[in-house]
Amino acid sequence: MRKFVLNRLLQIIPLLLGISLLSFLVTRLAPGDPTALFIDPNIDPLELARVRANWGLDQPIFIQYLVWLKNALLLDFGRSYTTGLPVITEIGERLPMTLLLMISSFILTLLITIPVGVISAVKKNSWFDNLFTFISFAGMAIPTFWLGLMLMLVFSVKLHWLPAVGNLALPLITMTIGSLAGLTRYQRGAMLEVLNQEYIRVARAKGLPERVVIFKHALRNALLPTITILGLSLPDLFGGAFVIETIFAWPGMGRLGVQAIFQRNYPTIMGIVMLSAILIIVGNLLADIAYAIVDPRIRYEKK
């Protein structure tokens, strides 16, 4: 197990290097530059050139990358062009808010997905199953920004139950509905498949109570696909946070990222990309480890 984890950790290094080079090139090759937004007729373009040079943007792109990489290895991600703050500080102020939103949505999703998936599978085609099938498809079909605005109109403007902006409740609900939709389907499918396995029939034939059959024998195996999907859905959660944070004025990292992209604020974009990459890689690693724990057959790369 230790060797397995170590191996995976070593693979991360070239992966991160590749991500950094690729995203550095993509952000720089996008048309526009951070001073292009100052289209004020009172500003002399020479001043913009001076500011660009102060930021080192007059250097060849490859040199800029090497400088960035050298500093990044020393955990210095530069300073934001717009705020003058170190990127680390800037992200540090915002990451906890994004994690709060993501983790609470993650937990809420799990708490709902597992029982709903199990009940839907056990009581296939019941009203309960049909209801959640409907909700899932609706959840997948509705765009997040629209759902968010509708929730605001109903709960904030009409009912005055929840604040529209700067409160956890509405963004959490919106985000959870979004990720719930697909996941309950997966859980239901996996559970159905396991319930048709021979060992379940054997367990039932042995006369074990139904509760034990379902929760001890079936669920444990049916959790595998859910864990995988959860690990893989981390990037989606980040992507969703970009939209949700903007709509609900939630001061997280997603909104910082959106703004940085529009402003071509390169140091901040790179900082957020690298941090997201690390979080996603770690998420996937944890999913793999959880996998190996749940199912002892899966200990990869064993010769």
Partner 1 sequence: MAIAMDFDQEGILRSSLNGEVSILNPVLSTDNISSAVEGAIFNGLITFNEKLEVIPELAASWQASKDGKTWTFNLRRDVFWHDGRPFTSEDVVFTYNAILNPKVNSVRRSDYIINGQPIKFKALDKYTVQAVLPVPFAPFLVRMGMGIVPKHLLGGKDLNTASFNRRPVGTGPFIFKEWTSGDHVTVVRNPKYFLGAPKLAGIKYKMIADDNSQLVALEADEIDEAGIPPKDYERMKKKAGIKVYDYDVLLYIYLGFNLANPKFADLRVRQALAYATDKKQLVDLIFKGLASPASAPTAPISWAYNSNVPKYEYNPERAKKLLKEAGVNSLEFTILVNQGNKEREKAAVILQQQYKKVGVNVKVRVMEWSALLKIVNAPKDPKEFEAVIMGWSLGLDPDAYSIWHSSQYPAGFNFVKYSNKKVDRLLDQGRLTTDKNERKKIYAKIWQEIAADQPYIFLWYPKALTGIRDRVGGLSKPGPAGLFVHLEKVFIRNAQVRP
List interacting residues with partner 1 (CB under 8 A).
30-33, 35-48, 50-51, 54-55, 79-80, 82-85, 90, 93-94, 97, 149, 152-153, 156-157, 160, 163-166, 246-249, 251-252, 255-256, 258-259, 262-264
Q: Measured from the CB of residue 267, what is the shortest distance to partner 1 in angstroms?
A: 13
Q: Measured from the CB of residue 67, what is the shortest distance to partner 1 in angstroms?
A: 18
Pick 199 or 262: Cβ nearer partner 1:
262
CA dihedral 219, 176, 136, 110 (to 10 degrees): 0
Pick 104 or 284: Cβ nearer partner 1:
104
CA distance 121 to 191: 6
Q: Measured from the CB of residue 255, what is the shortest distance to partner 1 in angstroms?
A: 6
- Give 4-51 as a DSSP string: HHHHHHHHHHHHHHHHHHHHHHHHHHSS--TTTT---TTS-HHHHHHH
CA distance 71 to 297: 43
Backbone angles phi, psi at 86, to 5 degrees: -60, 140
Q: Measured from the CB of residue 73, what is the shortest distance to partner 1 in angstroms?
A: 22
Pick 97 or 194: Cβ nearer partner 1:
97
Pick 77 or 132: Cβ nearer partner 1:
77
Q: Which residue has the tokens 């500080």?
A: 89
Termini Cα distance of the chain = 13
Q: Measured from the CB of residue 2, what is the shortest distance to partner 1 in angstroms?
A: 40
Pick 115 or 166: Cβ nearer partner 1:
166
CA distance 281 to 277: 6
The C-alpha angle with vertex 181 and arms to 152 and 147, in degrees rounded to 5, equals: 20
